[in-house]
């Protein structure tokens, strides 16, 4: 079965396969690069890498409106539990895998912080999304770390989505190494150029042996 991967701007992606529609880090309101409005995003599931506002974004309102299931770090689910039905929350932590109607969501290590208005939001994670027989690794926000090789070995992702904007995450030079270490045949850069604090020139993102697909917000490809 084929899947379609659409970049929504910043770190937000929509992955669809048949009737399954999964959003990763749906930050659309206040996102200057968002390709669509939060109220127009139809999803059955939302996957969150960590509780920073540029990732958790519109998760709460979208989940409420669409009755979507939210897969997120434990503390992020605790936070959302004040607003959402617990039956629609799937808490997890790095190393864990949660079976889903479309496949599974696994959580991985990331080297990054996570808080929201001073509230501890658990550890930041990367996620591995298995859907339609394909596997996507979204690294979330993270520094380069050598266990990205292990993530590649464990999950053999078809696509690696990597932050490249520097300052809060890897820059393009480190992200190129990350893409080589993960070893997915396709790498998609994200988390760059959204604001002046993030680099917008990512011409140094040139991993060897990996096809880079730089998407503009709203652009998609089929796998």
Binding region for Ni ion (CB under 5 A): 52, 141
> What x-and-dash track marks residues 106-145 binding Mn ion by CB under 5 A?
-----------------------------------x----
Task: Judge contact between 137 and 163, C-beta under 8 A.
Answer: no
CB of 82 to Ni ion, least distance (A): 21
Residues forming beta bridges with residue 14, ordered by sequence position: 6, 23
Q: Binding partner of residue 180 among Ni ion, Mn ion, none, CB under 5 to 8 Å per kind?
A: none
CB of 103 to Ni ion, least distance (A): 25
Give SS3 for 23: strand
Question: Based on CB atoms, which residue is closest to Mn ion, 57 or 91?
Answer: 57
What is the per-residue DSSP string for 79-120?
HHTTTS-GGGEEEE-TT-EEEETTEEEEEEE-----EETTEE
**Helix or strand (DSSP H, E) at 137:** strand 134-138
180 binds Mn ion (CB under 5 A): no
Among 3, 16, 49, 54, indicate the residue that binds Mn ion (CB under 5 A).
54
CB of 54 to Mn ion, least distance (A): 4
Structure tokens at 137: 């690794």
Give SS3 for 173: helix
CB of 198 to Mn ion, least distance (A): 9
Q: Binding partner of residue 138 among Ni ion, Mn ion, none, CB under 5 to 8 Å per kind?
A: none
For 206, which DSSP code? -
Which residues form the interface with Mn ion (CB under 5 A)?
Answer: 54, 141
């Amino acid at each position: 079965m084929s899947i379609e991967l659409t970049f929504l701007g910043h770190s937000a992606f929509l992955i669809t396969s048949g009737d399954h529609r999964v959003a990763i880090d749906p930050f659309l309101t206040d996102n200057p690069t968002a390709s669509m409005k939060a109220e127009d995003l139809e999803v059955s599931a939302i996957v969150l890498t960590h509780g920073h506002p540029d990732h958790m974004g519109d998760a709460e309102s979208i989940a409420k409106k669409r009755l979507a299931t939210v897969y997120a770090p434990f503390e992020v689910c605790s936070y959302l539990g004040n607003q959402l039905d617990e039956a629609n929350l799937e808490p997890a932590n790095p190393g864990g895998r949660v079976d889903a109607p479309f496949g599974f969501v696994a959580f991985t290590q990331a080297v990054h912080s996570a808080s929201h208005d001073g509230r501890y939001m658990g550890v930041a994670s990367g996620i591995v999304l298995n859907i339609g027989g394909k596997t996507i690794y979204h690294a979330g926000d993270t520094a380069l770390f050598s266990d990205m090789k292990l993530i590649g070995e464990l999950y053999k992702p078809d696509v690696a989505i990597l932050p490249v904007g520097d300052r809060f995450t890897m820059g393009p030079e480190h992200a190129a190494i990350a893409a080589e270490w993960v070893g997915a045949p396709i790498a998609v850069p994200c988390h760059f150029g959204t604001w002046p604090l993030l680099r917008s020139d990512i011409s140094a993102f040139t991993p060897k042996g990996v096809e880079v697909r730089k998407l503009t917000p709203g652009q998609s490809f089929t796998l």
